[in-house]
Amino acid sequence: MATSQWRLIASICFLALTGWSTKAVSAETDKPPFYQVQWQGKSAYLLGSIHIGRADFYPLPTQIETALGKAKGLVVEVDMNKADSNALLRQYGRADKTKGLDWQSRDKQTVESMTPYCAATANVCQSIQSFAPWLQATQVNLIRYNNLGYSTDYGVDMQLMARHAALPVYQLETAESQFQLLASFDSQAQWSMVREAISTSDADLLSLIAAWRSGNEAELDSIMQEQMGGEGDTEMLEKILWRRNHVMADGIIKLMGSTEITSPLFVVVGAGHVVGDKSVVQLLEQAGAKVSACWKQTCQ
């Protein structure tokens, strides 16, 4: 497992999704989901991000960089500087035989999927056997993205925290809540994550990045709906997106309403959380905030 365990975990919400593929464009012509939020005299910028990237993502487009220059605080999903990731991995990331999550408990479909993969990448399979399936899937996804030239080192949230280290950092969730969430899926769901991580084509792996860089919010929403809610099962959508969207929207409003926090804030959350009918954007508007799409108009 890579040294920065959290980067693997933060990526799982996106890395196993499919859609369409296109050539990468330069950072200056990128238009990722980007908004301005105004609420009770306070303002914030909201960027939908991905947790993996390349050097040519940066600097971000001028309008985003300008907003970052104005920011008085950075808001992220989780600040791993406040967490003991090793302890959390020991608690939530290990294979558990009693729950059917150990290597020997793999169902027939998973064994059939993994056998040719492990024949070609024996070292990978050997290294992940002691992990819970959700963590196995995450590791496989990250290795595949690394082979395609993408790294969590260039994930948007990681880059912003490094480049703007002088800003105060606020988190909308806790690391433990993230680990608990991923470990909460039953064995059937977790082994399906592993199969998906193995079977998705390289072209499909790149589709989310293309949709994000081009600002195709409809495509981003479609990817989430079709892949996380496939066959009418909305458990992943409910747990990974919709419930957390409420937590994030409530947290943003709370931070903006605090008399101890100076605005504007710059908020960066996964792009899947800011698109669709149950998104953070929709919930902020329902709470009375004015949310403006910055690519349709110039945000102040």
User: Could you read off the pLDDT of 188-210 as tens digits, one per residue?
Assistant: 999 999 998 999 889 888 888 89
Identify which has the larger pLDDT, 156 or 28: 156
Percentage of the chain beyond pLDDT 70 is: 89
Average pLDDT over residues 93-111: 95
Calpha distance 244→237 (Å, rounded): 10
* Position 251 pLDDT exceeds 50: yes
pLDDT at 207: 85
pLDDT at 17 over 60: no
- The residue behind tokens 């149950």 is 278
Please report the pLDDT score of residue 232 as a whole number. Answer: 53
pLDDT score for 233? 63
The pTM of this model reads 0.88
CA distance to 138, 186, 225, 229, per residue, from 152 (Å)? 12, 27, 24, 25
- What is the pLDDT at residue 26? 55
Give the confidence band of 160 by pLDDT, cuts at 50, 70, 90.
very high
pLDDT (mean) for 94-122: 96
pLDDT at 225 over 80: no
Q: Stretch 143-170: mean pLDDT, rounded?
A: 94
List phi, psi (to 5°) of 135. -80, -30
> What mean pLDDT do residues 159-164 have?
94
Q: What are the CA-CA distances from residue 14 to residues 49, 67, 135, 205, 215 (Å)?
A: 10, 25, 14, 9, 16
What does the pLDDT look like over 55-92, one tens digit per residue? 999 999 999 999 999 999 999 999 988 889 899 999 99
Chain-wide mean pLDDT for the chain?
A: 87
pLDDT for the residue numbered 227: 60
